[in-house]
């Protein structure tokens, strides 16, 4: 007798990796092996008496990290009194979800809470980008790199700290363990807890009412496309041949590059560029625009650029890429900087130039679903495509690329799939870039407010006026508020500061609920918190806060 198994594997990044894993598994008796680096798994057929430990050992010996082995069967029965309602024969599911990330899970939970029958289809590792290859792994590595950097550069005269070489392999192993734990508790366990069906495989529309997954047809009354996005790669001659890293593969490196050139200047470029700089890499950021963070207020861009420059990160602007050459000694990027020819040499290249929707395999045309030229799913205010019972949510729509936006949209999509007509409201979306210090913004920039017709007034507060920054001996950064001069309503808040991501939530509430500058000045802010900077910036509209005592109202 034979059985079919799925082995979840971390560390595969290319087709060569697939070949190595396949060869290793065949060497211990597995047959019909199908390894996929995109899905992070290998499907194998083995005899009933085959030892799974031998399979795991073979994968490990080939240089990759096996996480778990699962039989290819239907999911287990649910707990907590919920019973799965599955489609049998002609009876369709209430909702079929393609994808298993933040949008997909929020949608499935909302639909199951409403008593709907739900099926979720995932072609790769459950959990999507955030927990597996995005937010969770990147932020834990950023924190590790920040601590390493602080040990070398702490600002207190009475402390003697130092940092030896970072054991990057151990840091990566700890990161992998955290990812595995959160994926289990926040994703895999919930499938059982809520009782929906999880189907592994590549989904493709047969028509507007049916999906094909392998040899199975899945009918549903409504569908949610929540397949996310992946790193986009620019068309630069020689780049593919020379080889490059993305935000995914950079987090799987087994060593820290001696030098790294970053193509792009968005939040991923800044976070990962600073991460490797903090670990000792020589980092060069390259961007086509004339300034860093081109859509941000100039005070924010200048503050961040200054921090990076002080840390030795080179920033090239007005770049045009000509070609890339690769060789045993590294990579050479031929480009122009403001029209002047230059060559940038680096051990590795990191591509951080945006995201590409994962829709190629879906056969959207078979369902009549329209997409834009980048293959992003086009949706209306209710997240419906041009086929009303097919909806889209999260990164696949190329809206704001944040997991909290995806989860918000997923829940609304579930309501609308089940008959509601709730519009999404993305008018007030906070964003955080987890550099050190962090960058956090919400609402309108000064330029956007003027373009919208407001009579704008602004207040800019240097970190040297924020008591928390003074006691930290770290006054890098700035606070800026944008307000309507006529009504005094706060239109936007923009921060570069330690813990800016925590402080921005109060500003988000201020913008969302149309609070005024006076509301901020008349609300108590805890002393020696970074959030106090919001109140101080509001006070700066009318007075010099340097002439206030501590905690002065």
Q: pLDDT tens for residues 339-375?
A: 999 999 999 999 999 999 999 999 999 999 999 999 9
The pLDDT of residue 37 is above 90: no
User: What would the DSSP string read from start to end of 146-199?
Assistant: HHHHHHHH---TT---------HHHHHHHHHHHHHHHHIIIIIHHHHHHT-EEE
Q: What is the mean pLDDT of the chain?
A: 92
Q: pLDDT tens for residues 257-291?
A: 999 999 999 999 999 999 999 999 999 999 999 99
pTM value is 0.82
List, in order of start, the domains of the chain with CATH numbers: 2-71 (3.30.70.100), 95-130+171-230+356-417 (3.50.50.60), 239-352 (3.50.50.60), 431-547 (3.30.390.30)
DSSP 292: S
Q: Are 116 and 92 contacting, i.e. CB atoms less than 8 angstroms apart? A: no
Predicted confidence at residue 91, as pLDDT, reads: 64
Structure tokens at 537: 């910036």
Predicted confidence at residue 552, as pLDDT, reads: 57
What length does the chain have? 553
CA-CA distance, 213 to 197, in Å (whole number)? 13
The pLDDT of residue 551 is above 70: no
Q: How confident is the model at residue 329 (pLDDT cuts 50, 70, 90)?
A: confident
Predicted confidence at residue 86, as pLDDT, reads: 45
Predicted confidence at residue 39, as pLDDT, reads: 64
The pLDDT of residue 40 is above 50: yes
CA-CA distance, 103 to 99, in Å (whole number)? 8
The pLDDT of residue 89 is above 70: no
Angle, helix 168-183 to helix 135-153, in steps of 10 degrees: 140
Cβ within 8 Å of residue 451, ≥6 positions away: none
The pLDDT of residue 88 is above 70: no
Q: pLDDT tens for residues 497-513?
A: 999 999 999 999 999 99
* Host H or E run for residue 212: strand 210-213
Question: Among the listed ranges 245-249, 396-400, 465-469, 542-546, which one has the minimum average pLDDT value?
Answer: 542-546
Angle, helix 135-153 to helix 267-278, in steps of 10 degrees: 40
Percent of the chain with pLDDT over 90: 83
Q: How confident is the model at residue 83 (pLDDT cuts 50, 70, 90)?
A: very low
* Residues annotated catalytic, as ranges: 12, 14, 17, 64, 130, 135, 550-551
């Amino acid at each position: 007798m034979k059985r079919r198994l799925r082995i979840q594997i971390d560390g595969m990044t290319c087709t060569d990796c697939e070949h190595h894993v396949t060869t290793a598994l065949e060497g211990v008796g597995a047959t019909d092996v199908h390894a996929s680096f995109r899905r992070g798994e290998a499907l194998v057929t083995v005899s009933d008496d085959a030892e799974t430990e031998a399979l795991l050992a073979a994968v490990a010996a080939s240089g990759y990290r096996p996480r778990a082995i699962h039989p290819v069967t239907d999911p287990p029965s649910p707990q907590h009194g919920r019973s799965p309602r599955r489609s049998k024969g002609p009876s369709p599911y209430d909702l079929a979800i393609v994808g298993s990330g933040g949008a997909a899970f929020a949608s499935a939970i909302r639909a199951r809470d409403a008593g709907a029958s739900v099926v979720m289809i995932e072609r790769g590792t459950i959990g999507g980008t955030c927990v597996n290859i995005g937010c969770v792994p990147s932020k834990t590595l950023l924190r590790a790199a920040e601590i390493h950097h602080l040990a070398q550069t702490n600002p207190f005269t009475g402390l003697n700290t130092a940092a030896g070489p970072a054991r990057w392999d151990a840091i990566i192993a700890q990161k992998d363990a955290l990812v595995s734990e959160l994926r289990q508790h926040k994703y895999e366990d919930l499938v059982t807890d809520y009782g929906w069906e999880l189907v592994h495989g590549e989904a493709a529309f047969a028509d507007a009412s049916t999906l094909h997954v392998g040899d199975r047809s899945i009918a549903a009354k409504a569908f949610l496309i929540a397949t996310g996005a992946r790193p986009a790669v620019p068309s630069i001659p020689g780049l593919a041949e020379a080889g490059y890293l993305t935000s995914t593969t950079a987090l799987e490196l087994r060593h820290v590059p001696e030098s790294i050139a970053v193509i792009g200047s968005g939040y991923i470029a800044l976070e990962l560029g600073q991460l490797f700089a903090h670990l000792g890499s020589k980092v060069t950021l390259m961007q086509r625009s004339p300034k860093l963070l081109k859509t941000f207020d100039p005070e924010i861009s200048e503050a961040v650029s200054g921090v990076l420059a002080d840390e030795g990160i080179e920033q090239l602007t007005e770049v045009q890429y000509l070609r890339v050459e690769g060789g045993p000694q590294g990579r050479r990027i031929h480009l122009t900087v403001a029209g002047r020819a230059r060559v940038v040499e680096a051990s590795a290249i990191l591509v951080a130039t945006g995201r590409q929707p994962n829709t190629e395999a879906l056969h959207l045309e078979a369902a009549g679903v329209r997409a834009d030229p980048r293959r992003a799913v086009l949706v209306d205010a209710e997240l419906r495509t041009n086929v009303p019972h097919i909806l889209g949510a999260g990164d696949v729509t190329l809206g704001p690329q944040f997991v909290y936006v995806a989860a918000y949209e997923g829940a609304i999509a579930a309501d609308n799939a089940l008959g509601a007509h709730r519009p999404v409201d993305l008018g007030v979306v906070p964003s955080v870039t987890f550099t050190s210090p962090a960058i956090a913004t919400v609402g309108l920039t000064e330029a956007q407010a003027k373009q919208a017709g407001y009579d704008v007034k602004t207040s800019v507060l240097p970190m040297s006026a924020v008591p928390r920054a003074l006691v930290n001996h770290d006054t890098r950064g700035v606070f800026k508020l944008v307000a309507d001069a006529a009504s005094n309503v706060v239109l936007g808040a923009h921060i570069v500061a330690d813990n800016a991501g925590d402080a921005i939530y109060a500003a988000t509430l201020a913008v969302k609920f149309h609070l005024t500058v006076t509301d901020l000045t008349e609300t108590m802010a805890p002393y020696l918190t970074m959030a106090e900077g919001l109140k101080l910036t509001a006070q700066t509209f009318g007075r010099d806060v340097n002439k206030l005592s501590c905690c002065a109202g």
